[in-house]
Structures are given as structure tokens and as C-alpha cells.
Amino acid sequence: MTYSVEVKVMPLKELLDPQGKAVIGGLKNLGLQSVEDVRIGRNITLQIDAASPEEAKAIAEEASKKLLANPVMEYFEATVI
């Protein structure tokens, strides 16, 4: 069966996110003053052929470790949807 797994890859909380900081500036220029912080990461949806949701999640985590996320700068969360 094919499962959809969503992987969120976000910059580690300890690190600055210059892309997010630039977006805060852009939003302030557009008049959206109430946005206090922005962090930008990736959202990756995988269609995985697996025997169970647990297996699909394990494959997505392997894919994240090997290719999708850079553990020096990012963390990831995989969720079967």
C-alpha cells in the first residue's frame, strides 16, 4: 500500500535563520507589524510503498537522514498522514 508521509525539515532552534529574518523585514514593510518571528524550513511529502504505516515512517526517516535534512543545521519530523 502507498502511504503519504510528511517530513518537516526546520533550522535548529539554536541557529539564526537569515531567510526568516529577511521575511520579517518584508512583512513589516507590508504593514504586518504583529509578526514577531519567522523561521523557514522545508516541507516534503513522500509517497511510500510499504507494508505498514510504521514501515513507511521508518523509510521516510532513513531518507531524511541520508538526503533530505542536514543534521548540522536542521532537524526533521516525519508524520504519516
What does the binding site for a copy of itself look like in residue numbers (CB under 8 A)? 2, 8-10, 20, 23, 26-27, 30, 32, 34-50, 59, 62-63, 66-68
| Closest CB 63 distance from a copy of itself, rounded Å | 5
Q: How far is the CB of 54 from a copy of itself (least distance, A)?
A: 14
To the nearest whole angstrom, how small is the minimum distance from the Cβ of residue 72 to a copy of itself?
Answer: 19
Report which of 38, 50, 43 is spatially closest to residue 79, judged by C-alpha positions: 43
Q: Which helix (H) or strand (E) holds 55?
A: helix 53-63
**Residue 10 or 80: which CB sits closer to a copy of itself?**
10
Closest CA to 38 of 26, 21, 25: 21
Which of 39, 45, 51, 56 lies closest to 7, judged by CA?
A: 45
Pick 49 or 54: Cβ nearer a copy of itself: 49
Q: Which residue has the cell 522545508?
A: 42
